[in-house]
């Protein structure tokens, strides 16, 4: 007959270092299993990040879900009692009323819905043990951003796009609802430029809608392999979400127009005939750079009466005709490049008012001509004028 061990026997064996197999406890309910599994996920998060999950729109979606779940466990006596024996990290004891947020009133599925993620109501027979079905769909739809290991290959593309935006070759436009997102397109989401570097094969979702896996590179050096419909929702939910259109076809500067080109003005480079000492001493390297929508001849016709022309006649050094480009943005771009060489001068107009001309630069024409050429071929990004060397130089990193 087998001997039955008493509690005293178990204690004695434990003192002797003999492991005693405990009797199996009664099976837990599905709700208890879900609470335990959910708390284990919170613990894994805390172990990985060194802190409890927190609320906030700027945080990862799963961190926000874990934060809501942790609040639930802290607040509900039965759930807290179930999780406390597992709480080696002290996650339950750190709770204070200040930790709570308006999101505390939402369960997991409701929070996902608030975040713009479509949540299906599961069949009544569906059991959810570890993660809710909504969380699983969220995990599939929204991938955490990771460091883009080959970002050096993409950075010049972002630089080019910014230069084209500055020059008016590209514009940002509102995102159109469920518009398809193609490879090679640029968007602005949550204040960051996003480039669709890859697009996988189309597939149908459970709801019969077309979707595709994307590789999206962000201008902060991160990337994500989120789904097309996730990016669509993010753009629609973001009030500042935009798409960046394709660059306008056609030349920046040309001797003649092609069919369909729209003339938009002329860049001019002028030299002053003023007798002012600062002009006379620097006449060969002092230039006015401007843009006009009309003819340059008409623009300078009354130069001697205009303080922006230093109240003196001028000679035309060079002109560049513009097509399909934003004049103002291009002019601002050129002025920023040569900002360090801007002439600091005050002129009295014919009415005795003091005027500060802003378009005169102490830079040789060769440097100006190179800047225009670099704008035209897209290589201007990162260049500035060095007044000490009297030439364009690449801006030093850092």
Q: What per-residue confidence (pLDDT) applies to 194?
A: 93
The per-residue pLDDT for range 338-348, each reduced to its tens digit, is: 999 999 999 99
Residue located via tokens 């364009």:
392
pLDDT of residue 85: 87
pLDDT at position 258 is 54
Residue 5 — very low, low, confident or very high, per pLDDT cuts 50/70/90? very low
Residue 14 lies in a domain: no
**Are 286 and 375 in the same domain?**
yes
Q: Return d(Cα 247, Cα 358) in angstroms, integer.
A: 30
Instruction: Answer yes or no: are the C-beta atoms of 387 and 341 closer than 8 Å.
Output: yes
126-130, 206-210, 387-391, range with greatest mean pLDDT: 387-391
Judge whether 7 lies within some domain.
no
Domain boundary among 94, 115, 141: 141
pLDDT in tens, 74-92: 888 888 888 888 888 888 8
Instruction: Encode pLDDT of 201-242 as tens digits.
Output: 988 888 888 888 999 999 988 998 888 888 888 888 888 888
User: pLDDT tier at 257 (50, 70, 90 boundaries)?
Assistant: low
pLDDT at residue 315 above 90? Answer: yes
Asked whether residue 342 falls in the same domain as residue 280, the answer is: yes
Asked whether residue 269 falls in the same domain as residue 370, the answer is: yes
Number of domains in the chain: 3
DSSP for 71-138, written as a single string: HHHHH-HHHHHHHGGG-TT-TTTT--GGG--GGGG--HHHHHHHTT---PPPPTT---SSS-HHHHHH
68 and 42, same structural domain? yes
| Residues 108, 65 contacting (CB under 8 angstroms) | yes
d(Cα 50, Cα 63) in Å, to the nearest integer?
Answer: 13
- Distance separating alpha carbons of residues 121 and 118, to the nearest angstrom: 10
**Which residues, at least 6 apart from 300, have a Cβ–Cβ distance to it below 8 Å?**
268, 270, 309, 313, 314, 316
Range of the domain at 305: 263-394
How does strand 263-272 pair with strand 286-292?
antiparallel
User: 343 and 353 in contact (C-beta within 8 Å)?
Assistant: no
Do 145 and 222 form a contact (C-beta atoms < 8 A)? yes
Residue 6 lies in a domain: no
d(CA 299, CA 183): 45
Q: What is the mean pLDDT of the chain?
A: 77
Average pLDDT over residues 88-117: 52
Question: Residue 287 corresponds to which tokens in the numbers above?
Answer: 């230039």
pLDDT of residue 128: 41
Q: Are residues 154 and 57 in the same domain?
A: no
- With respect to residue 121, please indicate whether it lies within any of the assigned structural domains: yes
Find tokens 């920046």 and name the residue.
252
Q: Flag whether 329 is in a domain.
A: yes
Instruction: Kindly state whether residue 186 falls inside one of the protein's structural domains.
Output: yes
- The reported pLDDT for the residue numbered 310 is 95
- What are the pLDDT digits (tens) for 260-295? 555 678 899 999 999 999 999 999 999 999 988 888
Average pLDDT over residues 140-167: 79
Residues 116 and 218 grouped into a single domain: no
The end-to-end CA distance of the chain, in Å, is 83
Query: Does residue 384 share a domain with residue 368?
Result: yes
Nearby residues of 110 by Cβ (< 8 Å), 6 or more positions away: none
Distances (CA, A) of 3 to 6, 7, 275: 9, 13, 119
More reliable by pLDDT, 180 or 172: 172
For position 170, which CATH number holds?
A: 2.30.30.30
Kindly state whether residues 269 and 369 are assigned to the same domain: yes
In a domain, 232, yes or no: yes
User: Which pLDDT band, with edges at 50, 70 and 90, does 118 fall under?
Assistant: very low
Instruction: Give me the sheet containing 314-323, strands edge to edge.
Output: 314-323, 263-272, 286-292, 360-362
Please say if the pLDDT value at position 328 is more than 70.
yes
Whole-number pLDDT of residue 144: 59
Q: Looking at the structure, do residues 313 and 380 belong to the same domain, yes or no?
A: yes
The β-bridge partners of 6 are none
Do residues 134 and 35 both lie within one domain? Answer: yes
Check residue 247 and give its pLDDT: 64
Cβ distance 272 to 312 under 8 Å?
Answer: yes
What percent of the chain is helix, strand and coil (3-state, nearest 5)?
A: 35, 20, 45
In this structure, is residue 97 part of a structural domain? yes
Task: Among 244, 274, 293, give the residue marking a domain's end.
Answer: 244
Q: Do 375 and 289 share a structural domain?
A: yes
Same domain for 136 and 45:
yes
**What whole-number distance in Å separates Cα of residue 323 and Cα of residue 258?**
10
pLDDT tens profile 174-211: 887 767 788 889 999 888 899 999 999 988 888 888 88
């Amino acid at each position: 007959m087998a001997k039955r061990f008493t509690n005293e026997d178990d204690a004695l064996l434990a003192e002797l270092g003999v492991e005693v197999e405990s009797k199996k406890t009664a099976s837990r309910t599905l709700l208890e299993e879900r609470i335990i599994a959910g708390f284990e996920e919170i613990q894994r998060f805390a172990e990985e990040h060194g802190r409890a999950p927190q609320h906030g729109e700027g945080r990862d979606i799963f961190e926000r879900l874990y934060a809501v779940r942790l609040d639930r466990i802290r607040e509900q006596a039965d759930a807290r009692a179930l999780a406390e024996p597992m709480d080696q990290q002290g996650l339950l004891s750190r709770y204070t009323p200040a930790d709570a947020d308006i999101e505390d009133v939402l369960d997991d599925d409701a929070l996902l819905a608030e975040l713009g993620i479509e949540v299906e109501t599961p069949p009544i027979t569906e059991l959810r043990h570890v993660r809710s079905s909504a969380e699983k769909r969220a995990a599939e739809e929204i991938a955490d951003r990771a460091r883009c290991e080959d970002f050096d290959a993409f950075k010049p593309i972002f630089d080019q796009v910014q230069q084209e935006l500055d020059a008016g070759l590209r514009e940002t436009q509102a995102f159109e609802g469920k518009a398809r997102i193609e490879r090679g397109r640029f968007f602005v989401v949550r204040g960051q430029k996003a480039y669709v570097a890859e697009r996988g094969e189309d597939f149908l979702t459970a709801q019969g809608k077309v979707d595709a896996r994307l590789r999206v590179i962000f201008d902060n050096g991160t990337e994500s392999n989120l789904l097309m419909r996730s990016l669509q929702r993010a753009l629609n939910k973001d009030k500042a979400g935009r798409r960046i259109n394709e660059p306008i076809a056609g030349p920046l500067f040309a001797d003649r127009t092609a069919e369909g080109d729209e003339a938009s003005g002329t860049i001019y480079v002028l030299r002053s005939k003023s007798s002012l000492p600062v002009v006379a001493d620097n006449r060969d390297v002092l230039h006015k750079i401007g843009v006009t929508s009309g003819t340059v001849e008409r623009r300078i016709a009354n130069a001697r009466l205009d303080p922006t022309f230093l109240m003196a006649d001028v000679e035309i050094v060079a002109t560049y005709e513009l097509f399909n480009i934003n004049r103002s943005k291009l002019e601002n771009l050129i002025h920023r490049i040569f900002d360090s060489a801007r002439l600091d001068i005050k002129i009295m107009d014919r009415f005795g008012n003091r005027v500060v001309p802003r378009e005169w630069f102490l830079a040789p024409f060769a440097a100006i001509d190179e800047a225009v050429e670099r704008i035209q071929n897209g290589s201007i990004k990162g260049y500035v004028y060095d007044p000490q060397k009297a030439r364009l130089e690449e801006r030093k990193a850092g």
